[in-house]
């Protein structure tokens, strides 16, 4: 099977990385710096770069929105319980795609077509020609409308989860995609404080 | 509230990153290279480095195991449907912690204590002094026993999901933490092929 250009580019980049791997092959499984970052899948975010992580330093969990989904909680619990992390960072970002739609819009778009939709000042528009699927109407897409509140909600969900120890502080930040800066969300420190 | 050493280190690293942000502040929301990586949260993995990604290039989804959980599917669907990605990479890795336990072990450990457990040749041991929580017995931790099969299972789950278009190829790889190399899983190309 011939490979796409993208597929081949990834393999070529990997070859170069592996050729200069050095001592990284000796790193142990548990994170050396004992913390975990939960952040968005957004392409503009590189948590290793924006938070200063070398290979081996910290767990990184990413999903659409950087939300404290049940699956993110699964990962956070594995992170501290089996691999010894002691601090959690929840890091959303400005200009997040999760504020541009909601469950109704996504369910409708997917029902019409599985092709990529387009967006303009009049909202989302589906230019696809089907087939679509009604399955999208059954999913909670975890969108939000208020950036700060979404971080607070996620910090609180983690803080109050019965499987998360009270000793682990949960920090709440928003990464500014225009400046690269992490800005603490007002109220997050109190909402996520250890006790 | 005074900050922990780790918390302060992350903020200091971020300050340096932001000071050298350059033109990255102009990047648009959709991934420039139109693909998505689903990989493990493991601290030794840096997908931007192992796959050659610059900021703005590709979506990165990460969870414990790099599994095609329902939440990973949520993120993948948002990735292609609203932001135009056209290829998906599922990338697990060698020496993954997800083969070291199962639902029974995790449920038992969490029922005894919410402190970090230890592991030796006799298996996991809980040195904590409680309190624990029975909530861990209700969660599917998505562990696996066979590295290759787990990748194939995840590629197939994505391939066969009603909300994933048949036009998107799903690749299956295992990252070798000793060498830094991406190795294609036998059978993954066929299991994830576009049609």
Q: Which residue of A has its CA nearest to B26?
A: A178
Q: What pLDDT, on a 0 to 100 scale, did the predictor assign at position B149? A: 98
Give chain B positions within 8 Å (CB) of A154: none
Please tell me the distance in Å from B92's CA to the nearest CA on chain A. Answer: 14
Give chain B positions within 8 Å (CB) of A12: 52
Domain layout of chain A by residue ranges: 29-98+143-195, 102-140
Are A141 and B74 within 8 A, CB to CB?
yes
Are A41 and B45 within 8 A, CB to CB?
no
Which residues neighbour B129 within 8 Å (Cβ) at sequence distance 6 or greater? Answer: B113, B115
Q: What pLDDT, on a 0 to 100 scale, did the predictor assign at position A27? A: 97
Q: How many CB atoms lie within 10 A of CB B157?
A: 18
Give chain B positions within 8 Å (CB) of A53: 43, 46
Cβ atoms A90, A173 nearer than 8 A: yes
Q: Which residue of A has its CA nearest to B70?
A: A71
Please tell me the distance in Å from B119's CA to the nearest CA on chain A. Answer: 8
Any idea which architecture B29-98+143-195 has in CATH? 3-Layer(aba) Sandwich (3.40)
pLDDT surpassing 80 at residue A121? yes
Cβ atoms B172, B189 nearer than 8 A: yes
Q: How many CB atoms lie within 10 A of CB A55?
A: 18
State the sign of the Cα–Cα–Cα–Cα dihedral A187, B71, A127, B28. Answer: positive
Distance CA B41, CA B38 (A): 10
Q: How many CB atoms lie within 10 A of CB A106?
A: 24
> Per this entry, what is the length of chain B?
195
Q: Chain-wide mean pLDDT for chain A?
A: 97
* Residues B43-54 as b or e (16 or more Cβ within 10 Å = b): bbbbbbbbbbbe
pLDDT surpassing 90 at residue A130? no
Q: Which of A43, A94, A191 to mutate to test the interface with B (most CBs of B within 10 A)?
A: A43
Q: How many CB atoms lie within 10 A of CB A127?
A: 10
Distance CA A75, CA A83 (A): 11
Are B83 and A74 within 8 A, CB to CB?
no
Closest CA to B74 of A166, A90, A66: A66
Give chain A positions within 8 Å (CB) of B34: 6
Are A63 and B57 within 8 A, CB to CB?
no
Q: What pLDDT, on a 0 to 100 scale, did the predictor assign at position B130? A: 79
Q: How far is CA A171 from CA A115, A182, B6, B17, B116, in A?
A: 37, 11, 11, 19, 20
Q: In chain A, pLDDT over 70 holds for what percent of residues?
A: 99
Distance CA B19, CA A175 (A): 14
Distance CA A40, CA A56 (A): 20
Q: How far is CA A172 from CA A52, A164, B92, in A?
A: 17, 16, 28
Closest CA to B135 of B111, B162, B119, B161: B111
Please tell me the distance in Å from B168's CA to the nearest CA on chain A. Answer: 10
Which of A24, A56, A89 minimises the CB distance to B10?
A89
Query: Model ipTM?
Result: 0.98
pLDDT surpassing 70 at residue A1? no
pLDDT tens-digit map of A147-191: 999 999 999 999 999 999 999 999 999 999 999 999 999 999 999
Average pLDDT of the residues in A100-120 = 95
pLDDT tens for chain B, 195 residues long, are 689 999 999 999 999 999 999 999 999 999 999 999 999 999 999 999 999 999 999 999 999 999 999 999 999 999 999 999 999 999 999 999 999 999 999 999 999 999 999 988 888 998 877 799 999 999 999 999 999 999 999 999 999 999 999 999 999 999 999 999 999 999 999 999 999
- Helix H, strand E, coil C: the string for chain A is CCCCHHHHHHHHHHHHHHHCCHHHHHCCCCCCCCEEEEEECCCCCCHHHHHCCCCCCCEEEEECCCCCCHHHHHHHHHHHHCCCCCEEEEEEECCCHHHCCCHHHHHHHHHHCCCCCEEECCEEECCCCCCCCHHHHHCCCCCCCCHHHHHHHHHHHHHCCCCCCCCCCEEEEEECCCCCCEEECCCHHHHHCCC
Which of B75, B97, B169 minimises the CB distance to A41?
B75
Q: What are the DSSP calls for B163-192, one per residue?
A: TS-TTS-EEEEEE-TTT--EEEPTTHHHHH
Q: What pLDDT, on a 0 to 100 scale, did the predictor assign at position B47? A: 98
């Amino acid at each position: 099977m011939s490979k796409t250009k993208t597929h081949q580019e990834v393999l070529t980049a990997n070859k170069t990385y592996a050729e200069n791997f050095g001592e990284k092959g000796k790193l142990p499984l548990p994170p050396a710096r004992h913390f975990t970052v939960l952040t968005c899948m957004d392409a503009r975010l590189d948590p290793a770069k924006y938070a200063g992580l070398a290979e081996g330093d910290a767990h990184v969990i990413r999903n659409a929105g950087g939300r404290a989904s049940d699956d993110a909680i699964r990962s956070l619990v594995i992170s501290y319980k089996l691999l010894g992390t002691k601090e959690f960072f929840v890091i959303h970002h400005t200009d997040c795609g999760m504020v541009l739609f909601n469950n109704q819009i996504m369910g409708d778009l997917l029902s019409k077509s599985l092709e990529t939709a387009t967006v303009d000042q009049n909202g989302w528009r589906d230019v696809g020609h089907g087939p679509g699927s009604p399955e999208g109407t059954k999913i909670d897409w975890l969108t939000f409308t208020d950036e700060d509140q979404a971080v607070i909600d996620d910090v609180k969900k983690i803080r109050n989860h019965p499987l998360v120890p009270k000793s682990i502080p949960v920090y709440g930040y928003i990464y500014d995609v225009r400046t690269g800066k992490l800005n603490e969300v007002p109220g997050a420190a109190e909402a996520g404080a250890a006790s």
